[in-house]
Amino acid sequence: MSRASDRAYNHIRSMILSGELQPGSQIREEALAELCGVSRTPVRDSLRRLETEMFVRRNESQRSFVTNWSLDDLKDAFELRAMLEAHAAKRAALRITRDQLARMRGHNGQLKQAIDASRPDVPRFIDSNRVFHATILEAAASERLANMLMQVTEQPVILRTARQYDLENLRRSHHEHDELMIAFDNRDGDWAAAVMTAHIRRAFHAYAEAHSTDTEIRKANLAA
C-alpha cells in the first residue's frame, strides 16, 4: 500500500474511531479524498482495507457505509474475543517473563491514574488498556492467535465500550487487571483464563446496556 493510501487509511480509521464518521453513515470518496489530501484511488484502497477489517461495509449498489453492528453482531464478537483472550491469558500464565509482568504493572498503574483524575481520562484509559492486553498477547507467544484476535478487537466497538463505562466499571476493570497479574505471578493458567473471560463478558454487558438505552432514546425522539 502506498504512502498516500496509508495516510488515507489512518485518517479514515481515526474518524470512525472518534465518532466523527457515525455508524451507518455513508462514506463519500470525493469528500474523504479532499479531507485526506489525496486522490480518490488511495481512498478506495483504504476503504477496501477497512472493509476487510469490518469498519466499513459495502451495499449492493457498491456504496460504502460505516459499519453499524446489531446487538447480535456485537454479542458474537465479544464471545469470540472472550474465548480467544482467555486462551491467550492461559498461555501467557505459563510463559510470561518478569519483564513483561513489570511492564503490565506499569501500564495498569497508568490506567489507574487515568481513572483517578478529577475527570476520568478515557482516551488514556483506552491506550493503557490496549497496551496491557497487547503485553498478554506478546507473552502468549502465538502469531496465529494474535492474527485471530486482531479480527475481533480492532473494531470501533472497543472504543465505544470504554466510553460507556461509569467510574465503577473503570475501577472494576483495573481490579480485574490486578487479579490477572496475581494469576500470572502464580503461573495459574486456568485462573487467568477465568478472570479474562469474566473481564470480557462484563465489557459486553456494559456495552449492551448502553446500546439498549441509546435505542430507546432514538425511538422516543422519533415518536416525539
In this predicted structure, what is the pLDDT of residue 22?
82
Backbone angles phi, psi at 142, to 5 degrees: -140, 105
- DSSP string for residues in the chain: --HHHHHHHHHHHHHHHHTSS-TTPEE-HHHHHHHHTS-HHHHHHHHHHHHHTTSEEE-TT--EEE----HHHHHHHHHHHHHHHHHHHHHHHHH--HHHHHHHHHHHHHHHHHHHSSS--HHHHHHHHHHHHHHHHHHHT-HHHHHHHHHHHSSHHHHHHHHH--HHHHHHHHHHHHHHHHHHHTT-HHHHHHHHHHHHHHHHHHHHHHHHHHHHHHHHHHH-
Taking the chain (224 residues) in runs of 10, the rounded mean pLDDT of each run is: 84 81 88 91 92 85 84 85 96 98 97 93 87 96 91 61 73 95 98 97 82 55 51
Domains and CATH numbers, the chain: 3-66 (1.10.10.10), 71-223 (1.20.120.530)
In this predicted structure, what is the pLDDT of residue 172?
92
